[in-house]
Amino acid sequence: MPRIKAVLFDLDGTLIDSAPDLGRAADALRIQRGLPGLPIASYRPMAGAGARGMLQVAFGIGTDHPEFNALREEFFTNYEQCLLDTTYAFPGVSQLLNAIELAGLRWGIVTNKSSRFTNPLVGQMPLLAGASVVISGDTTAHTKPHPEPLLEAARRLSVAPADCIYIGDDQRDIQAAIAAQMPGYAACWGYMGETDVSTWGAQALLAQPVDLLPILSLGEQH
Angle at 54 between CA 26 and CA 189, to 5 degrees: 115
Angle between helices 148-157 and 171-179 in degrees, nearest 10: 60
- What is the C-alpha separation between 209 and 117, in angstroms, rounded? 23
Please say whether the beta carbons of 11 and 121 come within 8 A: yes
Given its phi and psi angles, is residue 38 left (phi above 0), alpha (psi -120 to 50 degrees) or beta?
beta
Tell me if residue 10 is catalytic.
yes
Q: Which residues pair with 16 in a beta bridge?
A: 12, 89
Determine which one of 10, 17, 27, 169 is catalytic.
10
Question: Rounded CA gap, 54 and 75, in Å?
Answer: 9
Nearest to 205 by CA among 177, 184, 185, 182: 185
Residues 6+ apart with CB under 8 A from 24: 40, 78, 82, 85, 86
Active site residues: 10
